[in-house]
Structure 1
Amino acid sequence: MSNFNVAKFGGTSVANFEAMSRCAAVIEANPNTKLVVSSACSGVTNLLVELANGVQDTQRRSEILTKLAEIHNAILDQLESSDQAASDVYAILDTVTSLAEAASIQSSHKLTDHLVACGELMSTHILAQLLKERGLNATRFDIRDVLRTDNNFGKAEPQLETIKQLADSSLVPLCQDFVVVTQGFIGSDSEGNTTTLGRGGSDYSAALIAEAVEASGLEIWTDVPGIYTTDPRIAPKASPIPEISFSEASEMANFGAKILHPSTLVPALRHDIPVFVGSSKQPEKGGTWIRHQVESSPLFRALALRCNQTMVTLRSANMFHAYGFLAKVFEILAKHKVSVDLITTSEISVSLTLDQTGTAGGAPQLPEQARIELEELCHVEVEHNLCLVALIGNNMSESKGYAKQVFGTLEDFNLRMICYGASPHNLCFLLHESVSKQAIQKLHTELFEG
């Protein structure tokens, strides 16, 4: 393991000159930080996605391009010597203009990846220049030269062995002499085409890079000071968690905690790299360390909320004392590429939720043809407007008495589905979205504020 520390900064952390200056201070505070991974400036990716979707209205397209220029010029104007950085940014903006015109005629996943990657390419030119002006020996590196993926544009899969080889040959030696500023979210395929790891993939790519250089630590700097016992916007008395295990943090990410991309922890977990989550706005407040081994493992660690849930309930008397029924159900779901998240069964019914992975914003849908085929086997009921509440903790399956405390607190709520026992780290249930935040508040008061 090297002594390199990798620091990743999200979009709000590089939103403007003041935000970037705070990032620079964080980098300066840790001499071991040799690799900096940056997202696009806040708001930029959304604008690029709109262009990638194909804006035929030339006035609207011009407005977006003007806004993109304004965001970056506002930072460039405050640099002491911005000529080179400005030239590099304007060249990328010219590329954005050309790609946006092409997308207005005919868009594609390949073109979209090339276009939306431009946000990170621009922000890193500016951040590298800012670090130089503050006296750091900084340089910018195009991560597409290392982060090799397949050509599944929009959600590319990393090629781990190739990434490791390329990092050893080009990125690690550079870190010996420089603070290297590079991009999150993006990579390239074997033919040099730009790819992306999907929305939220900046954290993931930072972890992949940390793994490739065998980093001593990975810092993820965002706009909140660490991981809390629940969302403070829901429960104002939520408190920061100083230390949490990989298992607990993975459960939180899976069940809706916005602080981390669900896949982020996997590369760090493989190489036992500790992960720190903190606020670039308030670094003095500390944050949360995520490690394999932690000093305390309380029964209750946190509450997570994930909305836009779709529950499918299948009922048939043919299930009673029969075999093969579930196999037929999952054969149909697999045929239509429907991934299942949670599942509970009884003698004549099965309820399941649909996996949200790859769902853009709304609730996942059961394809109509899948529903038609399922209805040949059983009665099908699909419910929306549901939220999943997950209680994260430790050794739940080996503990006694707490179920009464949890479900007693929820006695006034109609729980639609309960999943428990598959993991020692969580107990989760569905309820209607209209009461989900109230349930979180009551549980947090009972379990964490006493």
Structure 2
Amino acid sequence: MSAFNVAKFGGTSVANFEAMSRCAAVIESNPDTKLVVSSACSGVTNLLVELANGVQDTERRTAILEQLSDIHFSIIESLQEQESVKGAVQAILDTVTSLADAASFQASNKLTDHLVACGELISTHILTQVLKERDIDAVRFDIRDVLRTDGHYGRAEPQVEFTAVQAKEKLAPLCKKHLVVTQGFIGSDEQGNTTTLGRGGSDYSAALIAEAVQASGLEIWTDVSGIYTTDPRIVPNAAPIPEISFNEASEMANFGAKILHPSTLLPALRHGIPVFVGSSREPEKGGTWIRKRVENSPYFRALALRANQTMVTIRSAKMFHAYGFLAKVFEILAKHKISVDLITTSEISVSITLDQTDTAGGAPELPAAARAELEELAHIEVERNLSLVALIGNHMETKGYAKEVFSTLGDYNMRMICYGASDHNLCFLVDADDAKSVIQKLHQDLFEPQDNG
């Protein structure tokens, strides 16, 4: 198979004309890049989500629509050929206006997906024209014609086999003749309705598309020069990681490292596609390669933080030496399509955290109907304002590993400590107010060289 690279650009990478021009330069630098996946322009998705949630104040709704128009037309003004792009973008903005009006009366997940997807549909029109004006033979492709999902609006699940068949028939032949520009984050269900893969789903869809076209590499271009030992905004001394394994990167993404969507690496791992993460603003700084096997596997690789956690504790004396109690609990959760993240148990209680948010945003919630059913079995407590801290590494079963971590955090209250299920992570909950100082303390003690002089 000849080299086939897929390049995905995040919202900050397509924020304005200058940013899009930098994307074009990155694309030009790799002749193997045959497919480009783009997010919406920076800030656009948040505005669209606000509209989708229903803005009844007419002045506020008008202001958002004007802001959306300004963001996109300010980029178009820098193009040499503007008219065709203006027409295409205005048509989509007219759709946004109609959908926003509808949402102000009755919001729904289905309408949210249709509305929020407009950001990617617009950005790809503009980016395609930017590339054409640099004499690149670029064509725009609507990914909804290929990426099939179920009808779970706001967090749709891809149908991988069907998508692969459609990609082979419709997308791969086009990539042989042109540079193809398409959308991240969105797909369509069996009825042709627009769906989204959840917030941050552009990376995931890029990996799904790379898998479907049997790409030999996937580049994810963002505003950070690769993956760091933790968020540099929290710890200025955070260090870049040149190379990391799929297992380590998957743990980091799952536990809150915002550089990757939690599901991004699954398609790449299935087909052994190496993934590169770098900054389109500073591509010369390099980045991080994510591979199946790496040369260096340190005990402590990175720290991840996931805010906005919801913990549910289910407490009942009926659990004591009983069979089938937990099965009933998880049957109720499955019935209401509630995805569970962490789990800890005792003789009379089980605590769980609810999984990540969907496209509409907000903290994970326990639906009222699910809570009512659970309360027939046990006493239910729901706690919020928590953050999850995860230490990512290797060989965590090694004697003395946990002691080194916990001795650092003697002054903090840790909840739901999960350790042992994986030799790549140790995680726990802390009060949201303590989260950043916990990350800073762990990084200082475990990752930064100690001056013993």
Q: 1:170 to 1:382 in 2, by over 3 A?
A: closer
Contact 1:390 1:429 in 2 (8 A): yes
Q: Give the C-alpha shift of residue 379 in structure 1.
A: 4.6
- SS of 1:75's equivalent? helix
- The answer for the alignment partner of 2:353 in structure 1 is 353
What is the 5 A alignment of 1:125-164? Answer: 125-164=125-164
Contact 2:416 2:428 in 1 (8 A): yes
- The answer for the alignment partner of 1:423 in structure 2 is 422
Q: Give the C-alpha shift of residue 288 in structure 1.
A: 0.8
What is the 5 A alignment of 1:47-66? Answer: 47-66=47-66
Q: Give the C-alpha shift of residue 342 in structure 1.
A: 1.4
Q: Give the C-alpha shift of residue 423 in structure 1.
A: 0.7
CA distance in 1, matches of 2:50, 2:431: 32
- SS of 2:383's equivalent? strand
One-letter amino acid of the counterpart of residue 383, structure 2: E
CA distance in 2, matches of 1:372, 1:85: 52
Residue 19 of structure 2 is aligned to residue 19 of structure 1: yes
Contact 1:2 1:213 in 2 (8 A): no
Q: 1:165 to 1:328 in 2, by over 3 A?
A: closer
CA distance in 2, matches of 1:320, 1:100: 52
Q: 1:117 to 1:406 in 2, by over 3 A?
A: same
Residue 92 of structure 2 is aligned to residue 92 of structure 1: yes
CA distance in 1, matches of 2:208, 2:61: 35
- SS of 2:358's equivalent? coil
- The answer for the alignment partner of 1:118 in structure 2 is 118
What is the 5 A alignment of 1:315-334? Answer: 315-334=315-334
- SS of 2:180's equivalent? strand
CA distance in 2, matches of 1:362, 1:99: 21
Q: Give the C-alpha shift of residue 266 in structure 1.
A: 1.2
CA distance in 1, matches of 2:376, 2:87: 63
- The answer for the alignment partner of 2:433 in structure 1 is 434
Contact 1:2 1:214 in 2 (8 A): no
- The answer for the alignment partner of 1:409 in structure 2 is 408
Residue 444 of structure 2 is aligned to residue 445 of structure 1: yes
Deviations 1:166-204 (A, max 9, x none): 211221111112111111112223333322222211111
- The answer for the alignment partner of 1:243 in structure 2 is 243
One-letter amino acid of the counterpart of residue 268, structure 1: A
- The answer for the alignment partner of 2:394 in structure 1 is 394
One-letter amino acid of the counterpart of residue 237, structure 2: K
One-letter amino acid of the counterpart of residue 288, structure 1: T
- The answer for the alignment partner of 2:32 in structure 1 is 32
Q: 1:301 to 1:172 in 2, by over 3 A?
A: same
Q: Give the C-alpha shift of residue 207 in structure 1.
A: 0.8
Deviations 1:89-136 (A, max 9, x none): 122222223333333344443333222222111111111111111121
Q: 1:177 to 1:297 in 2, by over 3 A?
A: same
- SS of 2:195's equivalent? strand
Deviations 1:17-38 (A, max 9, x none): 1110111111011111110011
CA distance in 1, matches of 2:115, 2:362: 24
CA distance in 2, matches of 1:81, 1:271: 40
Q: Give the C-alpha shift of residue 223 in structure 1.
A: 0.8
- SS of 1:396's equivalent? coil
CA distance in 1, matches of 2:191, 2:367: 35
CA distance in 2, matches of 1:69, 1:414: 48
Q: Give the C-alpha shift of residue 43 in structure 1.
A: 1.6
Q: Give the C-alpha shift of residue 2 in structure 1.
A: 4.4
- The answer for the alignment partner of 1:209 in structure 2 is 209
CA distance in 2, matches of 1:374, 1:103: 32
Q: Give the C-alpha shift of residue 45 in structure 1.
A: 1.8
CA distance in 2, matches of 1:100, 1:367: 26
Q: Give the C-alpha shift of residue 359 in structure 1.
A: 8.3
Q: Give the C-alpha shift of residue 80 in structure 1.
A: 1.6
**Structure 1 stretch 439-448 or stretch 53-62: which is displaced more?**
53-62
**Structure 1 stretch 197-206 or stretch 101-110: which is displaced more?**
101-110
What is the 5 A alignment of 1:191-230? Answer: 191-230=191-230
- The answer for the alignment partner of 1:302 in structure 2 is 302
Q: Which runs of 5+ in 2 are unaligned?
A: none
- The answer for the alignment partner of 1:286 in structure 2 is 286
Q: 1:32 to 1:313 in 2, by over 3 A?
A: same
Q: Give the C-alpha shift of residue 156 in structure 1.
A: 2.4
What is the 5 A alignment of 1:244-259? Answer: 244-259=244-259
CA distance in 2, matches of 1:62, 1:278: 37
Deviations 1:223-252 (A, max 9, x none): 111111011111111101111111111111
Deviations 1:373-407 (A, max 9, x none): 5455555443322221111011212x122222111
Identity of aligned residues (%): 77
CA distance in 2, matches of 1:362, 1:174: 39
Q: 1:144 to 1:381 in 2, by over 3 A?
A: closer
Q: 1:367 to 1:161 in 2, by over 3 A?
A: closer
CA distance in 1, matches of 2:320, 2:54: 52
One-letter amino acid of the counterpart of residue 137, structure 1: D
TM-score when scaled to structure 1?
A: 0.93
Q: 1:312 to 1:109 in 2, by over 3 A?
A: closer
**Structure 1 stretch 104-113 or stretch 268-277: which is displaced more?**
104-113
CA distance in 2, matches of 1:360, 1:193: 17
Q: 1:275 to 1:350 in 2, by over 3 A?
A: same
- The answer for the alignment partner of 1:274 in structure 2 is 274
- SS of 2:7's equivalent? strand
CA distance in 2, matches of 1:101, 1:381: 38
**Structure 1 stretch 114-123 or stretch 212-221: which is displaced more?**
114-123
**Structure 1 stretch 70-79 or stretch 313-322: which is displaced more?**
313-322
- SS of 2:225's equivalent? coil
Contact 1:390 1:426 in 2 (8 A): yes
One-letter amino acid of the counterpart of residue 245, structure 1: S
Contact 1:2 1:215 in 2 (8 A): no
- SS of 1:45's equivalent? helix
CA distance in 2, matches of 1:191, 1:367: 27
Contact 2:53 2:360 in 1 (8 A): no
Q: Give the C-alpha shift of residue 267 in structure 1.
A: 1.1
Contact 2:229 2:302 in 1 (8 A): yes
Q: 1:197 to 1:335 in 2, by over 3 A?
A: closer
- The answer for the alignment partner of 1:232 in structure 2 is 232
Counting matched residue pairs gives 449
**Structure 1 stretch 162-171 or stretch 26-35: which is displaced more?**
162-171
CA distance in 2, matches of 1:371, 1:212: 39
Q: Give the C-alpha shift of residue 413 in structure 1.
A: 1.7
CA distance in 2, matches of 1:53, 1:383: 25
